[in-house]
Amino acid sequence: MRVLGIDCGCERTGYGVIESDGLEHRLVDSGVIRTSPRTPFERRLLEIVRGLRQVIRQHLPEAAAVEGIFYSSNVKTALKLAHVRGVALLALAEASLEMSEYSPLEVKTSVVGYGRAQKNQVQMMVRSLLRAPAPIESEDACDALAVAICHATHSGVAHRHDVVEKAI
């Protein structure tokens, strides 16, 4: 299964595309859609949705996953992040992609095995799970890959459970 993971952000929206059977994962592509804080916010949202549409057209994922919104003490920042998430969900819906959402705790637990893992631990495990020859350059792209791995792992578990159920 080809999975697109998205790490939403106002200045940097990370994306990661993997191939996975639920147990083994392979890196297809990753990167960041960057916007300038000097650009009007609505134009930045347009840049993000266009970038995600391009990634979807180029890699044709079968499923997508985004990290759920976490608690933020800064309401303005949380609202902007929600807008970015909205355009990401729009791009996924336009492409008729199955979409799942995972909390940061679920992502870290799935990738590292510990929900309170540090960023560097997540980065190290993403690189290891994908057998990437070099570190993933961007934290945002690495986080997006972690979300994709989380989804592939959860989907793989569900698929294996369905196969066992049918066999019984």
Task: List, by residue number, the catalytic residues.
Answer: 7, 67, 140
- The number of C-alpha atoms within 13 Å of 164 and in the hemisphere containing its C-beta is 6
What is the spatial distance between Cα 66 and Cα 93, in angstroms, rounded to a whole number?
A: 13
DSSP secondary structure code for residue 138 in this structure: -
What is the spatial distance between Cα 17 and Cα 35, in angstroms, rounded to a whole number?
A: 20
What is the spatial distance between Cα 105 and Cα 67, in angstroms, rounded to a whole number?
A: 10
What is the spatial distance between Cα 162 and Cα 99, in angstroms, rounded to a whole number?
A: 20
Q: Exposed, middle or buried by CB within 10 Å (0-12, 13-18, 19+), for 53?
A: middle
What is the spatial distance between Cα 94 and Cα 27, in angstroms, rounded to a whole number?
A: 24
